[in-house]
Structure 1
Amino acid sequence: MWCGVPVDNVDVNAATEHGVLVMNSPGGSTTTTAEHTIAMLFALARNIPQAYETLKDHQWEKSKFKGVELAGKTLGVIGLGRIGSEVARKCQAIGMKVIAYDPYINTDAHLSSGLALVEIDQIFDQADFITVHVPLTEATRSLINQTTISKMKDGVRLLNCARGGIINEKDLYEAIKSGKVAGAAFDVFETKPNIQSPLLELDNFIATPHLGASTVEAQRKVSEDICRQVSDYLLKNTVRGALNFPQIEVGQVERYQHFVDLAARLATFISQICDGRMQTVSIHYSGEVCDMNLNYLTSIVVRSLLVPVLGEGVNLINAMHVANRRGIKVQETRIR
C-alpha cells in the first residue's frame, strides 16, 4: 500500500512482475497537502519565515519585509489532480485569478468551478505565482528550468509541494540570484533529506521538510482508507485504488461467479489440449457478461491458460505481464 498521490517512488512494474498487488490511498492527504500549499503561498507572499527569524534575533525590521497581496494576483496551477484542483478552489476563494494547465484536460473543456484552462506557455506568460501539482516523470522532470523561467514574468514566485525535481533547483537558484524570480517555496527537493541545497542560502527562498501530508487528520484518514481497502480486498473480493489491476466493485465477482468459473475452466482445458507454443489468445465476449469488468475476466483467462504451463508463479496480478513478456498476444472482442 502507498499513501499519497504521486507514486513515482513505487516500482509498480517490478511489483506486477512478481504478482504483487499495489494499491494507492491518495484521498486522505488531499486537503492537508492543499492547505500546506496555501500556507506556503501566504508565507512566500508576506515573508513570514524571514520576519520571524529576525524577531528571534531580537531585531524589529518592519520595513525590510514588505510583501505582496494575493487578492487580484494570477495563480498558475500546473496539474489539476486532487490536490491541484483543491488548491485552485481555495485560491479562487481568496480572490486570486486562477488559470490552470493539465495535459489530460482539453483546454476547451468547461469546468463547473469556472476555472480557466490554458496552455502551459500562457501560465508562464501570465502568472504572478506558479504552483506545480504533477507526478515526477520523464516528461515533468525539470519542467521548470532556465528556458521556461525565461518565459515568465519578472518577479514571479514559484511553489513546489508535489515532487522534487519538477523544478530544476540549479536553474531556480540562478533565477532567484538574478532577480528574475522574486521567491520560491519548496516542500520537496530532488534528494531528501536535503539540508545542503544552495537554495537554503537565499533569503527569499523558504522550505519545509516534506510536511505536506503531515497532519493528525491526514494520517488518521489514510490509515482508515488503507485498512478499508485491504479488508475489502480480503473479505469482499473488492479492488479499489489498485495501480496494476482492474477495479472491482463490491459484489461484482459474486454476481458473475458463473462466468468467472466458466472462463477459468475453459482456459485450463484449452491449455491442456493445445500443442505447441502459445502465440495468440482470442477472447470473444457477448451478452450479459459484458456488464462486468472484462479486464478482470481476461486476467482470469490468461492466468488459467498459463498456470498449467508455467506453474504457481503466475497469478491474476502478473498474468498479462507474463503473457506480454512471452510474446503472447491477447485480443478481446465485445458484442453486447
Structure 2
Amino acid sequence: MQKKGEKQQVYTIKTLNNIADCGLNVFNNENYTVDNDSQSPDGILLRSFNMHDMTLDNNVKAIARAGAGVNNIPVAEYTERGVVVFNTPGANANAVKELVLTTIMASSRNLFAGVEWTKSLQDQGDNIPKLVEAGKKQFVGKEIKGKTLGVIGLGAIGALVANDALDLDMDVMGFDPFISVDTAWNLSRNVQRAMTIEQLFANCDYITVHVPLTDKTKGMFNKETFEIMKPGVHILNFSRGELVNETDMAAAIESGKVGKYITDFPNENILKMKNVIPIPHLGASTKESEENCALMAARQIKEFLETGNIRNSVNFANVELPYVGKKRVTVFHKNIPNMVGQITAALANYSLNIADMMNRSKGEYAYTMIDIDNKVNGEVIPGLKANISEIPGVVTVRVI
C-alpha cells in the first residue's frame, strides 16, 4: 500500500505459538518483518498462548487468534486500549464437523469399547476368532438412519453438521435464536426449526452443541435439562467443557438418561464417569484446519494494518471500506453522541475534504474510517492525529 515517493511502512509481526508456514508467508514481503523477540510489534499471531499475564506494548494494534475461541486473550482490556482482536470462525469448521459425525456413528455402534475389548484378547492365540464371535454381542449398537439429531448453534460448524447429517438419512432439528443471514442461506431447508431449546431437548436422540461459553450458556446441560431429554440420549460437546454441569452429567449417565457423553474436554471428573468417550481435544487438530486458521488470521491482520478494514473481530464491529489509495484516517472511540461530528470538524480545521467514510459501533465502542480527498502533506499528519486524539472519548488514531 506504499504510495510513490513516500517512506516505506514496515510492520513487525510477532508469533506466540507455532504458526503454519502458509500463514507466515502472507508477511513474506518488504513491508513486513516477523520478529518473535520484538517487544513492540504491530501485530501478534497466536493459537493457545495465555496472554492474560502478558504485558502488551502500546504499539500493538491487532491480535489474531488462529482459531475460534479467545478465552486465552483478555479481550475486554484490549478493547479499552483500542486493540483489535481477531479470530478465525469457520476455518476449522470442516475438521470439527468430520469428528462430530465420526463420533456419532462410532458411539452408536459401540466402536470404541469394542476395539478396546478386542485388544484385551492379546495372547489368546487361536482362540481369538471364537472369543470374538462369542463376545461381540455385548457391543450390539444401533444405526443412526432415521434417528433425530439436535444441533444447538447453527454457525459455521453447526450448519455443516446439520446439512451432512441429513445426507446420512438422519432427521435434523436445529436451534439458534441468533442465526445469521449467511448461515440461513447455507442451511438446508430440511433442517427442522426448534422454536425453543426445550423442544429440541425433548425430541432428539443425539444432541450436539456448537455455541460459545457465556454466562447464559455455562452449565446449560444440567439436571433440569437432562430431565427433559429422551432416555439414552447421546450428547456431543466439541465447544467448551463448561457448558456441561459435570456432577449432573454423572448422575444422568448413572440413571441411563444419558446413554453416552462424547466430549473433547476430558478432565479428572470426566475420566471417572462410565459411558463417556473422552477425546483429547482433537476437534480442530488437522493439518488442513491449522493451515486454514493460520492463513485466515494472517490475512486479517495484514488487511487491517494496511487498510484499516476489520473482518471477524470479536471486540469491534466489522468495517470494510474499499481501499483506493487515498489517505485514510481510522479512529477507535467511545460509542457516544457527536463523535463523528467532532472528528470531521478536526479534518475541516486542516481544510481536508472527505471522499468516503464509514462508522460502525459494537457495544460501548465504535470505529470510524474516513478517506481524505485532498493530497495530504506529510507534515499535516502529526498535527491531525494529535488534534483528533484530544477529543474526549477517542482511544486511538491512525493515518494510513
Superposition TM-score tier, normalisation by shorter sequence? 0.7 to 0.9
Residue type of the alignment partner of 1:131: T
**Inter-partner Cα distance in structure 1 for 2:321 and 2:90:** 19
Contact persistence 1:73–1:96 (CA under 8 A): yes
Counterparts in 2 of 1:210 and 1:316: CA distance versus 1, 3 Å: farther
Q: Which runs of 5+ in 1 are unaligned?
A: 271-286, 318-336
1:284 alignment counterpart? none
In the comparison of the two structures, how many residue pairs are matched? 289
1:293 alignment partner in structure 2: 358
Query: 1:9: Cα distance to partner?
Result: 4.3
Distance 2:293 2:116 in 1: 34
In structure 1, the residue matched to 2:146 is 72
Q: CA offsets per residue over residues 42-87 of structure 1, 9 Å max, x none?
A: 1211111111111111163311111111000011111111111111
* Contiguous gaps of at least 5 residues in structure 2: 1-63, 122-130, 332-339, 371-384
Judged with a 3 Å threshold, the aligned counterparts in structure 2 of structure 1 residues 73 and 304 are, in CA distance, closer, same or farther, namely: farther
> 2:389 matched to which residue of 1?
307
CA deviations on 1:301-336 (whole Å, 9 max, x unpaired) are 9x977622679x93159xxxxxxxxxxxxxxxxxxx
- Return the TM-score normalized by structure 1: 0.76
Cα distance change on mapping 1:168 and 1:55 into 2, 3 Å: same
- Give the structure with the larger strand fraction: 2
Residue 229 of structure 2 corresponds to 152
Instruction: Work out the CA distance in 1 between the residues paired with 2:140 and 2:280.
Output: 26
Q: 1:40 Cα shift?
A: 1.6
Question: Which letter does structure 1 place at the counterpart of 2:70?
Answer: V
1:168 aligns with 2:245: yes
| 1:128 paired to 2:205 | yes
The change in CA–CA distance for 1:235 and 1:306 in structure 2 (over 3 A counts) is closer
Q: 1:29 to 1:259 in 2, by over 3 A?
A: closer
Distance 2:275 2:143 in 1: 16
- Residue 260 of structure 2 aligns to a residue whose secondary structure is strand
Percent identity between the aligned chains? 35
Q: Which residue of 92, 98, 103 maps to 1:40?
A: 103
Q: 2:259 aligns with which of 182, 192, 197?
A: 182
- Pair 1:266-2:329 in alignment: no
Match of 1:229 among 285, 300, 304: 300
**What do residues 139-195 of structure 1 show as CA deviations (whole Å, max 9, x unaligned)?**
101111001100111111111011111121111111111111111100125xxxx2x
Which of structures 1 and 2 has the larger relative contact order (alpha carbons within 8 angstroms, sep 6+)? 1
Quote the offset at 1:115 in angstroms: 1.1
Aligned to 1:117: 193
Q: Is the 2:163–2:188 Cα contact (8 Å) retained in structure 1?
A: no
- What is the one-letter code of the residue matched to 1:213? A
Task: Find the partner of 1:84 among 147, 158, 161.
Answer: 158
Other structure's SS at 2:118 match: helix
Question: Is the Cα–Cα contact under 8 Å of residues 148 and 170 in structure 2 kept in the other structure?
Answer: yes
User: Which residue pairs with 1:247 in the alignment?
Assistant: 318
Given that 1:264 and 1:304 are in contact with CA atoms closer than 8 Å, whether structure 2 keeps it comes out as no
**Correspondence 1:195-206 to 2 at 5 A:** 196-197=268-269, 199-206=270-277
2: CA distance, partners of 1:166 / 1:34: 19
Query: What is the RMSD of the two structures over their aligned residues, measured on CA atoms?
Result: 3.3
Cα 1:66–1:231 shift into 2, 3 Å: same
**Which of the pair is proportionally richer in helix?**
1
Alpha carbons of 1:77 and 1:262: their partners in 2 closer, same or farther (altered >3 Å)?
A: closer
Q: Which residue of 1 aligns with 2:278?
A: 207
Counterpart Cα distance in 2 of 1:51 and 1:257: 63
| Secondary structure at 1:99 match in 2 | strand
Give the Cα separation in 1 of the matches to 2:348 and 2:326: 24
TM-score, with length taken from structure 2? 0.64
- Tell me, yes or no, if the aligned pair for 1:268 and 1:308 is still in contact at 8 Å: no
Shift of 1:228: 1.4
Local SS of the residue matching 1:104: coil
Q: How far has the Cα of 1:4 moved from its partner?
A: 2.5
CA contact (8 A) 2:69 2:87 kept: no
2:38 matched to which residue of 1? none
Relative to structure 1, is the Cα distance of residues 129 and 10 closer, same or farther in structure 2, using a 3 angstrom cutoff?
same
